[in-house]
Structure 1
Amino acid sequence: MSTYSSQLHEEQQAVDRAYGRLDALRAQTRSRLDAVRAAGSHGSPTQRTERDSFATMYEDRLTQLRAVEDRLVFGRLDDEQGARRYIGRVGLSSESHEPILTDWRAEAARPFYEATPSNHGDIVMRRHITLSFREVVGIEDEVLDVHSDQVDKASSAGTLTGEGALLASLSSRRTGKMTDIVATIQAEQDRIIRSDMGHAVVVQGGPGTGKTAVALHRAAYLLYTHRRKLERSGVLVVGPSSTFLHYIDQVLPSLGETGVVSRTIADLVPGFATDIADDPYAAKLKGDRRMAQLVANAVAARVRVPADLPTVNISGVNVPMLATDIRQAQSDARRTRAPHNKARETFIQQMLRSMRDRYVEQLDYTPDAAERSRVSSLLRMNDKVRKTLNLCWLPMTAPWLIDQLFSRPDKLRAMAPWLSDDDVRTLTRRKGAPLTRSDIPLLDEAMELLGPDPKATARQAARDAQRAQEEQFARDTLAQSGIGTGLVTSQMLLDHINGMDAELTAQRAASDREWVYGHVVVDEAQELTDMDWRMLMRRCPSRSFTIVGDVAQTSALGGTRSWPKTMNRLFGAEHWDLNELTINYRNPKEVSDLASRFASAEGLYISTVNAVRSMPESVATQVVPDEAALADAVARHAAELTRRFVSSDGSGRVAVIAPDELIESLRQAVALQLEASLDPDEAARLADQPDWDRQVAVCGAEEVKGLEYDAVIVAQPGQIEDDAPARLVAAADLYVAMTRPTQRLVIVRTQADESSLTL
């Protein structure tokens, strides 16, 4: 048996021990869960509540234990005393409480990511362990103390290496899911992941620097470190598209965390989701922070004093509605600082009281309480009074208000005098038109100012009453059990009754527009407008954010091209930190250099300084005579790259990125070529895949933001630039398109396109 083989065998024993303990914990948890469920609904309320609490706890634990199956163990640290510490996805201990596996987020695991030969403390060696399912298939050692005898041992065993584990992960085929980087986190990434939760953390980095992975691992680290707080408040992850969210949705569960809410800006308001996009200029106008004033003006305009005020006859007494009473009631209602629809209740009550007082003033006697109540009821039910009070303070819903704004150019011009006539024409649409993505922040703004739909108030009151009954039940249960000691509170018990675990917290948060999150992760943050940011800041008043993006990739006209300009306004200069990731782990050096040269020439800020690997054949260009030849060339390249990178096991991804007007024709050409050149079953399998999980995709530059592929074909780059609404947007779109591949980039263009743009 070779020395290397003996090392593999030794590590296999350690891995088997960890998986054995994981299996035992799963079986134990499953057994306990089954026992709790078998007890049924018998017993006292206290016993049933206790069983429900344990069932929730066991279900959550079982979900966590199942999610960490893949690559459970990935590292080992050896110290100067010869002690070994294995690093993995979760912490595991034996039945006698001896450590088996250290959670990657624990302080004891920090040297696995941050130790260097010049700063390694008592750690002499770091070992990377590669698993295939549960089998150890590779080990690589980094000796940090050059004076240690571990140098000779690792050298003779053939395990001594530098960045082999990282490079192996970069060369693996892409799938429709983003994989975690927990086994290969680099020191600059780890420092960001473990940074203070109290500050907003901005991560600027070029394509392939691991921004998204860092953000998600930071979320997992914070959930581990601040478990008590974040399990109750939740974590929100905001991504650029539903495809992107599908791509990342397994990362946090694989790190042992469940129950995080994932949303795009377009579906962040419960009950209102849309995939309709405005044209770029309209989206920029709607994203302007002055739109908050537009919405506020539109709400304020529905509080007024009508010219025609009624006089109502009650039992022979004429009761006038006076303008002075209206103004006073409106002023008093505004002073409550309640949302519009809630403040309206104060206005209505005061107006009915004022009109009742006008009635009383005309009597020659003092009416009793019953008569006063009758008069109030008659006034409330009077059609003229009701209609006039609605004119004085109109009850509204947010969708109605937004529809009114953009379907009536005269109103839009009056409420937003800063808009030009061209702007008003751009924003105007037919009445009843569906909401767009850029409407959602305006809708949220309106909901914030208006408060709940008046018709929903009664339903909410019923829910509040039910909640009060549940709290009383919890207090009574604790009192009967004699456990009201402060260790278990009625709120804690109520949370268990209602299943307040991480996943149910996420479900509640996702359905509640006013939910306040403990932390928010924003990916591709450079695309967010001022109105998008207002919506997000509302959801996290503590200002605990992880914000990742690249100002060189900004394609939204209203997006961010300077982090200080945006972040200082949002957080204040002292309350956010900028971190730059500078190493490109995704693209081969040849691809990275080509894309960076182009972007720099176009005036974009490039923060990436180098790529970690070189692949001399990774870039190819083909120029064809015309568009007819273009479709044929793109289809042939797509088929060749599919045969090379795409596997029937679901791994491997190829993308064709093209101008919008060519997407459909190129999609048909690629489909026909795949059908002609692949096995019929394989061609049918690829054709039947859902859009978000296609192994061979034909799409625009905007759709691939945040994603990566084994190979990418960029068709007609000059036309992609010509179609963009602005020069910098064009450069950003092409920069994004060119930096998606991990293995190969092919540029296919016509002669006319080549003459219009030099790459």
Structure 2
Amino acid sequence: MEQTFQSAYQEEEQRLNATIAEIDKQLDRLRGIEVYTGHDFTEQVLEAGREEKRQSLAKSLTAPYFGRLDFQGDRDKTPKPLYIGKIGVDHEEVGDQPMVIDWRAPIASVFYSFTGGDDPAAYEAPEGTIEGLVYLKRNLVIRKQILERVSDTYDRNSDQPAVSDEFLVYRLGENKDNKLRDIVSTIQAEQDKIIRAAKNTALIIQGVAGSGKTTVALHRLAYLLYQYKEQVTAEKMIIFAPNHMFLDYISDVLPELGVGDIQQNTFADWALKLLDLGLPLADASETLDYWFESEGGMPEVNDEVPGRFKGSIGFMNMIRSCLESMEGASVPEADFMPWEGAVLKRSMILHWFNEEYKPYPLAKRKERVMARIHRWVEMELKKSPSAAALKERKKKASQREKSYAGKWPKYEPLVLYKQMFKALKLQAGWPEELLEGIPDGVLKSTQKDLKKDVIREEDLPALLYIHYLLNDISSEQRFDHIVIDEAQDFSPFQVAVLDLFVKGHSFTILGDLSQGIHAYKGVHDWEELSSLFAAKQTAYFALTRSYRSTMEIIEFANRILEKGVNSDLLAVPVFRSGNPVRMIPYGGQAQKRLEDLRQGMHKLSSGEYRTVAILTRNLKDANELYEQLLPDVPELHLIDGKKQAYEGGLSVLPVYLSKGLEFDAVIVADADPQHYGASAWDAKLMYVGCTRALHELWLMHEGPVPEYLQNMHEDIAATGW
């Protein structure tokens, strides 16, 4: 007999109250145990376990679970109700079924993968594949111990159709704050496959805007720590993100999932710390100005652009060839004479360098050889005929050892990099012919930079690779897993270098080629990255369903891709309808433009929307608009790439800094050909701006709009005030 909603609600409320009471009881008991602060190792381990339990129970107390799955496995006589939560909670009685099952547990995968139908469901358990029947799949919203919503997405005993999207649409309709949220209660089947993929694989995820790829990657980290707890640790995982503001934006997700201590950084900051160059990185604004400040279209991108060339595997191979050639000319030409009459033949030094210490990287080989020479000197000193001779020989030997060491190449990444670009005198034996493949523009601009000790972000992969070839990598520097977000902006050389720093090619590489607005340094096709790995070491996933924006916004953005980018990487919207996209012309005067933007922001923020952004074509426009609006909108925030945190509320920022962020409502300012040209890269920039909006999108412009936005007014509310 079909269960009524009221009885289902009452049943779940009773179950929730019982669960909270049990968690309370366990928490009180653990808090009643005096915290051990002594030095006994066994007691310290026991106390650490108790503290971990205290923290997990405390987190579970406000919202113990979010889903229910009634499942009858092939070894069960009847269906069992299983409650799924962020953190597993056991009954205190040994042997009882868990009170709450951790979302990462094998059986919980059925909750995410099952989408309806009468066929059996299955999951992979340690003992093998378990098959069974799903009788009920129920979503629950619990906030502060109060049951707010009960939604059945499947009921085998009901003749009503499954409504799997109803709960998802409800959660997606909620307004945005200044932090990314976890999606543990709404993980979809295609996302769950990525989260639970095997560890030693380089996953490449092409995800359309709003497909949840960043959140999926964060949940994957939590899953790997749960599933491979004996092989990986949080401290040995790292997330590379485009900037620190984005890192702050995603910072709440992992703690909400009960995971801490995972490293989070930008590639540039991590590389600079590792290299310890003693030089700051050049301000990236100069590069950004060149590519984004120009109005009417982006400059042409080709493989001779410094970022593209220095990010290529060809450049990586060139560096390796240079260092291999230099290796043969490392040992000074002459024999070593610590004093007259004592000679260490160069042939012996070559034997040590080329054979005995061959397994060591160059810098360590030099150290070993110099240590071996010093030991030889000490043995020779023992043959001194007198104390006076010994003293004299010691003094000469010390001076000549130091002089001899100075004749070797200086094994420092920046020194060798400068030599490679001829910024300093070429080392003897340096393969000058190998450098002929460097484009003239790249060569001259880099020589100019290096003479002034200017290091740019595009130089970091090369410097890291030279560091690796000289010193190798210590176990402390090697990661268990690496996440690369916005990976379309990474170069193949960057990823190849990072592969040296991770065990088993364990990557989660995610991005969207349609948002590849940094084409001057990033990849243009995922094959540029997948080709770095053997076929069995990589896997490709495409996330085409967009959960961020309304159908109207997604369909509008898709047409930008079709008309402006000529791309087929289109998003499939969730059925969540909203207001039409609005294209609003300014009043025709500069002051009217400012007034229209001010009124637009006020109108959007005066309702239920909590986050509203005006996106400009470049940073110059954002700065000017911020100064003009601030007197009337004192709560306005400027996002200029220097901030460490996204503060929510009202913001103005250049569109290229909006990647990865999302807002309840977005105004794209100056949506005209003077600011957005006809190139595919400009259309991608417009696409990025439009797909930041969750609920409302307005494009404001003076005169005509770019060609790829023309003739779209038929389905759009083209209204002014």
Structure 1 range deviating more: 7-16 or 731-740: 7-16
1:282 and 2:306 are equivalent in the alignment: yes
Q: How does 1:422-571 map to 2 (within 5 A)?
A: 422-427=441-446, 428-429=448-449, 431=451, 433=453, 435-451=455-471, 514-556=476-518, 557-567=520-530, 569-571=531-533
- Contact residue 521 and residue 545 of structure 1 kept, 8 A: yes
Q: Report the counterpart of residue 42 of structure 2 in structure 1.
A: 50
Q: 1-side partners of 2:16 and 2:645: how far apart? A: 38
Bigger Cα displacement from structure 2, 233-242 vs 130-139: 233-242
Quickly say closer, same or farther: Cα 1:552–1:322, change in 2 above 3 A. Answer: same
Q: TM-score by structure 1 length?
A: 0.77
Does the aligned pair in 2 maintain the 1:718–1:757 contact within 8 Å?
no
Percent identity over the alignment? 22
Give the counterpart letter for 1:699 in structure 2.
L
* Change in CA separation of 1:274 and 1:393 when aligned onto 2, cut-off 3 Å: closer
Aligned partners of 2:307, 2:52: CA distance in 1, in Å? 41
User: Does the Cα contact within 8 Å between 1:581 and 1:607 map onto a contact in 2?
Assistant: no
**2:201 corresponds to which residue?**
199
Judged with a 3 Å threshold, the aligned counterparts in structure 2 of structure 1 residues 718 and 25 are, in CA distance, closer, same or farther, namely farther
- The aligned counterpart of 1:110 is 109
Residue among 139, 164, 182 paired with 2:184: 182
Partner secondary structure for residue 579 of structure 1 = strand
In the TM superposition, what are the counterparts of 1:694-709 in structure 2 within 5 Å? 694-709=648-663
Q: Is the 8 A contact 2:202 2:506 kept in 1?
A: yes
Inter-partner Cα distance in structure 2 for 1:134 and 1:432: 62
Assess, with a 3 A threshold, how the Cα gap between structure 1 residues 313 and 203 changes in structure 2: closer, same or farther.
closer
Q: Which amino acid aligns with 1:622?
A: I
Aligned residue type for 2:306: A
Out of 137, 141, 165, the position equivalent to 2:152 is 141
Report the CA distance shift for 1:15/1:298 in structure 2 as closer, same or farther (over 3 A).
Answer: same
Q: Deviations over 1:364-383 (max 9, x none)?
A: x976999999788445411x
Once residues 66 and 402 of structure 1 are traced to their aligned partners in structure 2, the CA distance between those partners, rounded to angstroms, is: 53
> What's the counterpart of residue 620 of structure 2?
661
CA contact (8 A) 1:686 1:696 kept: no
Instruction: Return the offset for 1:137.
Output: 1.0
Does residue 1:418 correspond to 2:449, yes or no?
no
Distance 2:88 2:203 in 1: 27
Matched residue, 1:341? 363
1:716 to 667, 670, 677: 670
Q: Deviations over 1:157-201 (max 9, x none)?
A: xxx854222111111111221111111111222222222224332
Q: How many Å separate the matches in 1 of 2:549 and 2:152?
A: 25
One-letter amino acid of the counterpart of residue 448, structure 1:
Y
Distance 1:65 1:657, change over 3 A: farther
Which of the residues 92, 102, 125 maps onto 1:95?
Answer: 92
Write the letter of the residue equivalent to 1:117. Answer: G
Q: Which residue of 2 aligns with 1:735?
A: 687
CA distance in 1, matches of 2:221, 2:422: 42
Secondary structure in 1 aligned to 2:542? strand
1:125 maps to 2:136: yes
| DSSP-derived class of the 2:204 partner | strand
Distance change in 2, residues 1:240/1:58 (3 Å):
farther
What SS is found at the alignment partner of 1:654? Answer: strand
Counterparts of 2:20 and 2:674 in 1: how far apart (Å)?
Answer: 51
SS at match of 2:488: helix
Tell me what 1:9 maps to.
10
Residue 65 of structure 2 corresponds to 73
The one-letter code of the counterpart of 2:313 is R
Match of 2:700 in 1: 748
- The Cα offsets for residues 529-564 of structure 1, whole Å up to 9 and x where unpaired, read as 022102320121311222222222222334223223
1:85 is paired with a residue whose SS is strand
Preserved contact between residue 89 and residue 104 of structure 1 (Cα < 8 Å): yes
Taking the TM superposition and a 5 Å limit, the aligned residue runs for 1:272-351 are 276-277=283-284, 279=287, 281-293=305-317, 295-296=319-320, 297=322, 301=326, 304=329, 314=339, 317-319=340-342, 327=350, 330-332=353-355, 335-351=357-373
Q: Which residue is equivalent to 1:217?
A: 219
Task: Say if 1:656 and 1:443 are closer, same or farther in 2 by CA, change over 3 A.
Answer: same
Could you tell me how far apart the structure 2 residues matched to 1:7 and 1:191 are?
A: 31
Which shifted more, 188-197 or 703-712? 188-197
* SS of equivalent residue, structure 1 residue 127: strand
Give 5+ residue unaligned stretches, structure 1: 42-46, 454-511, 676-681
2:405 counterpart residue number? 389
In the superposition, relative to structure 1, how do residues 142 and 662 fare at CA in structure 2: closer, same or farther (>3 Å)? same
The answer (yes or no) to whether the contact 1:659–1:716 under 8 Å persists in 2 is: no
Quick one: distance in 2 between partners of 1:553 and 1:712? 17
- Indicate the larger mover: 284-293 or 527-536: 284-293
Answer yes or no: is the 8 Å Cα contact 2:338–2:397 preserved in 1: no
- The CA RMSD measured in Å over matched residues stands at 4.0
Match in the other structure for 2:573: 611
| CA shift digits 1:68-100 (9 cap, x unpaired) | 556431111234745322111122122224331
Q: Distance in 1 between matches of 2:57 and 2:431?
A: 58
Structure 2 residue aligned with 1:488: none
Tell me the amino acid that sits aligned with residue 743 of structure 1.
H
What is the CA deviation profile of residues 691-718 of structure 1, one whole-angstrom value per residue up to 9, with x for unaligned ones?
A: 5224222222332222211111112345
In structure 2, do the counterparts of structure 1 residues 638 and 385 end up closer, same or farther at CA, with 3 Å as the change threshold? same
Alpha carbons 1:642, 1:654 under 8 Å: kept: no
Alpha-carbon distance in structure 2 between the residues aligned to 1:736 and 1:406: 37
Q: Give the Å deviation of 1:36.
A: 0.4
**Equivalent-residue separation in structure 1 for 2:618 and 2:308 (angstroms):** 21
Residues 304 and 391 of structure 1 are in contact (CA less than 8 Å); yes or no, is this contact kept in structure 2?
A: no
Shift of 1:344: 0.8
2:669 partner amino acid: A
Q: Please give the secondary structure, in 1, of the residue aligned with 2:179.
A: coil
User: Given the superposition, is the C-alpha separation of residues 704 and 604 from structure 1 closer, same or farther in structure 2, using an over 3 Å criterion?
Assistant: farther
String of CA shifts for 1:222-255, please: whole Å, max 9, x gaps.
2111111113873222222222221222212212
Change (3 A) 1:439 1:421: closer
> Does structure 1 residue 597 correspond to structure 2 residue 620?
no
Matched-pair contact (CA < 8 Å) for 1:589–1:614: yes
Give SS of 2:198's match: coil
Pairwise CA distance, 1:127: 1.0
Q: 1:642 aligns with which of 573, 591, 605?
A: 605
Q: What is the TM-score of this pair, normalised by structure 2?
A: 0.80
Q: Which amino acid aligns with 1:73?
A: Y
Alpha carbons of structure 1 residues 413 and 324: separation in structure 2 relative to 1, 3 Å: closer
Return the alpha-carbon distance in structure 2 between the equivalents of residues 452 and 375 of structure 1: 39
The answer to whether the 8 A contact 2:70-2:137 is kept is yes
Unaligned runs of 5+ in 2: 73-77, 121-131, 292-304, 713-721
Query: Which structure shows the bigger proportion of residues in helix conformation?
Result: 1
Q: CA deviation at 1:125?
A: 1.7
SS at structure 2 position matched to 1:227: coil
* Alignment CA distance shift 1:550-1:604 (3 Å): farther
Q: CA deviation at 1:59?
A: 4.0
Comparing 626-635 and 134-143, the one that deviates more: 626-635
The AA in structure 2 aligned to 1:408 is A
